[in-house]
Amino acid sequence: MLVLGLESSCDETAAALVEDGVRVRGDAVASQVAVHAEWGGVVPEIASRHHVTNLIPVLQTALERAGATLDDVDGIAVTRGPGLVGALLVGVQAAKAMAWARRIPLVGVNHLEGHLSAVWLDGERGPAFPHLALLVSGGHSELVIARDHGVFELLGATRDDAAGEAFDKVGKMLGLGYPAGPTVDKLAQTGDPHAFTLPRPMRGRGLDFSFSGMKTAVLTIVQQRGVPEGQALADLCASFQASVIDQLIRKTRAAIEQHRVKQLQVAGGVAANRGLRAALAELAKETGVELFIPSPARCTDNAAMIAAAGYWRLQRGERADLTLNATATLPLADGR
Ligand code: KG4
Ligand code: ZN
């Protein structure tokens, strides 16, 4: 079954064609990063307007790369939430128009479920069910038990900022542009993680996360000493990143122990972070769990993951009708 996925929840316009939920035939992403960088963050109306102009060319590129036409498409999967509602509406309406005109089955997909479906792409052997999943993106930080495709039980979530949001806000304070996660990651590689003492919050507080305290601690350092430069900048990035990773690893370890899982998947943009990937590999070795992380390109927003998630829903016979609409807040656990 060839599924066309469309993604427009934030600042990437993406289309992909995926065979049977696993094999990516054609994939295209138009990033608006350069447009929003000027504003220091995503401007919702500008994002929507760029989706309107980018979506059809991106779709054409994905079809060309797949060597396919709309006649070959057996189903359409589109992100229906969570995200910027004006941005989501562009993808939803395009998907509905194609589904209606070509009589192609349609499903709406939760963006977070998409992230948790990327692990089966590129012919990788994915985890079995149930397994533990750590989802760390720009908008979400959650630990869930994945019971089946699209069936999740929430164990813990952030009480304030998402992990990626904290990377971006700290990066902005340090003048590293937007989004700052990849730059902090790069600088952290040459920095000393012990150079600055930052808070290690949420000890013994269940499986919820909190990242705003360490962000405020960085702000205090910047206010007291100014933005560090050179080696000191790398040291601050490394120290901040280490405190984020420390918490993610502590909570994930606790979830592994409490729920006695044998497999762990990690998804979302922050899963591209090299320090986190190395710490997770270490955790897997210590606890004996099998670790699954998509390639860095499949950790950040793309449409192949939406097509993969949609495939399992279409397989179960799920169909969206033409009343399908976008939803800004859509919890993962309510995905079904
Ligand atoms: O999953 P994603 O592409 O979009 C959302 O659904 O939010 O995640 C984007 C987030 C941004 O906050 C970005 O700074 C962060 O992921 N990110 C990283 C890295 N690459 C992307 N954070 C830390 N290290 C990275 N290498
Ligand atoms: Zn995302």
CATH among 3.40.640.10, 3.30.390.10, 3.30.420.40, 2.70.98.40 for 128-293: 3.30.420.40
Closest ligand relative to 162 C-alpha: 1
110 lines ligand 1 (CB under 6 A): no
Task: Using the atom order of ligand 1, give the atom closest to the CA of residue 274.
Answer: 26
**CB 223: neighbour CB atoms within 10 A?**
9
Angle between helices 163-173 and 181-188 (to 10 degrees): 80
Task: Using the atom order of ligand 1, give the atom closest to the CA of residue 163.
Answer: 12
Give the residue from 233, 250, 244, 246 showing the smallest Cα distance to 192: 233
Write the residue with the smallest CA distance to atom 14 of ligand 1.
181
Helix, strand, coil % over all residues of the chain, rounded to 5 = 45, 20, 35
The whole-number pLDDT of residue 303 equals: 98
| Beta-bridge mates of residue 142 | 135, 157
Please answer whether residues 136 and 271 qualify as being in contact, where contact means their C-beta atoms are separated by less than 8 angstroms: yes
The whole-number pLDDT of residue 334 equals: 52
Strands (E), 128-195: 131-136, 141-148, 151-157
The whole-number pLDDT of residue 328 equals: 96
The alpha carbon of 72 and the centre of ligand 1 are apart by a number of angstroms equal to 33
Write the residue with the smallest CA distance to atom 10 of ligand 1.
138
272 lines ligand 1 (CB under 6 A): yes
**For ligand 1, mutation pick of 42, 79, 109, 137 (most atoms within 8 Å of CB):** 137
Terminal-to-terminal C-alpha distance of the chain: 21
Spell out the alpha helix ranges (H) of the chain.
33-37, 44-66, 85-102, 111-115, 163-173, 181-188, 212-225, 230-259, 274-287, 296-299, 304-315
**Superfamily of domain 2-118+298-315 in the CATH hierarchy:** ATPase, nucleotide binding domain (3.30.420.40)
**For ligand 1, mutation pick of 185, 270, 276, 298 (most atoms within 8 Å of CB):** 270
Give the residue from 186, 178, 181 showing the smallest Cα distance to 31: 178
For the entire predicted model, the pTM comes to: 0.95
Cβ contacts of 13 within 8 Å, gap of 6 or more: 7, 29, 30, 32, 50, 51, 54, 55, 58, 90, 91
User: How long, in residues, is the chain?
Assistant: 336
| Beta-bridge mates of residue 209 | 158
Write the residue with the smallest CA distance to atom 24 of ligand 1.
273
Residue whose token pair is 């589904």:
99
Q: Which amino acid is at 39?
A: W
The whole-number pLDDT of residue 336 equals: 40
Give the residue from 70, 139, 69 showing the smallest Cα distance to 106: 70
- Counting as low any pLDDT under 50, the low residues of the chain are 335-336
Task: Using the atom order of ligand 1, give the atom closest to the CA of residue 111.
Answer: 6
Q: Distance between CA atoms of 178 and 172, rounded to whole angstroms?
A: 7
| The two domains 2-118+298-315 and 128-293 share their CATH topology (first three levels equal) | yes
Task: Using the atom order of ligand 1, give the atom closest to the CA of residue 140.
Answer: 7
Which sequence spans correspond to the domains of the chain?
2-118+298-315, 128-293
The whole-number pLDDT of residue 201 equals: 86
Write the residue with the smallest CA distance to atom 8 of ligand 1.
269
